Amino acid sequence: MTTVEHDHGNEHHPDELAPIEARVAAIETVLVEKGIIDVDFDAVVRHFEDNVGPLNGAKVVAHAWTDPDYRARLLADGTAAIAELGFGGPEGDHMVVVENTRDVHNLVVCTLCSCYPWPTLGLPPKWYKSPAYRSRAVREPRALLAEMGTIVPDDVEIRVWDSSAEVRYLVLPMRPDGTDNMTEEALVGVVTRDSMIGVERL
């Protein structure tokens, strides 16, 4: 460790940035020793790893594809309809579901931070939190999508939803052609995380 002390009262000014692991350990151990936080926050973290993810959202979408009444409820009140399937909680308290059609393609972003519907999609992927995605999604969405391999024809309106307040968005993708004979259970496997953010068309 290299520490250079300057004459600024009692302050220490180390030169080298502490490794991220050491910084995490420093704040964690100090707060645990002082009894300010509990060391056992692992259970909460495991909940997000084990129980929450895009499979939840895929179940919502597949159900909407196979049950027109549910689809109507989902578009009218996303939070309540999603709760029917047992999903809800922080970052999912005010859900709005936006539907893709032949004329409209929806895309979700959070330009100010990384708001994301945790109960239906899990924690946001790295690229969703990246400056490149957050800056470009509202500036040149069609070009950005094309670059990501998703071609949206010029005559299809792109609607971008910047989740800047309390609402979290879920895209209801169009049911792909050739899936008429598939069961709801099988359809769940067709739905991707990216299609529910809007960076992919199924």
Residue 140 engages another protein in binding (rule: CB under 8 A): yes
Query: Catalytic positions, please?
Result: 110, 113-115
| Cβ pair 129, 121 in contact under 8 A | no
Quickly tell me which residue has 């993708």 as its tokens. Answer: 173
Out of 55, 75, 83, 96, point to the residue binding another protein (CB under 8 A). Answer: 96
Number of residues located near another protein, criterion CB under 8 A: 81
117 CB-contact burial (10 Å; exposed 0-12 / middle 13-18 / buried 19+): buried
For 144: left if phi > 0, alpha if psi spans -120 to 50, otherwise beta; the answer is: alpha
| Smallest distance, another protein to C-beta of residue 69, A | 22
The correct pick among 60, 62, 121, 133 for binding another protein (CB under 8 A) is 133
Cβ atoms < 10 Å from Cβ of 101: 11
CB 25 within 8 A of CB 158: no
- Work out whether 34 is an interface residue with another protein (CB under 8 A): yes
Q: Which stretch binds another protein (CB under 8 A): 65-73, 142-150, 171-179, 180-188?
A: 142-150
The single residue among 61, 64, 81, 144 that binds another protein, judged by CB under 8 A, is: 144
Positions in 163-192 near another protein (CB under 8 A): 163-167, 192
Mapped onto helix, strand or coil, the DSSP state of residue 4 is: strand
Stretch that binds another protein, among 26-34, 80-88, 171-179, 183-191 (CB under 8 A): 26-34
Of 47 and 84, CB closest to another protein? 47
Shortest separation between residue 145's beta carbon and another protein, angstroms: 10
Kindly list the distances between the CA atom of residue 3 and the CA atoms of 15, 55, 97, 167, in Å, as whole numbers in the listed order.
6, 49, 53, 47
Question: What would the x/- binding string for another protein be over residues 36 to 55, using CB under 8 A?
Answer: xxx--xx-xx--xx---x--
Which residues, 112 to 131, sit near another protein by CB under 8 A? 112-114, 122-127, 129-131
Among candidate residues 85, 110, 83, the one with its CA nearest the CA of residue 95: 83
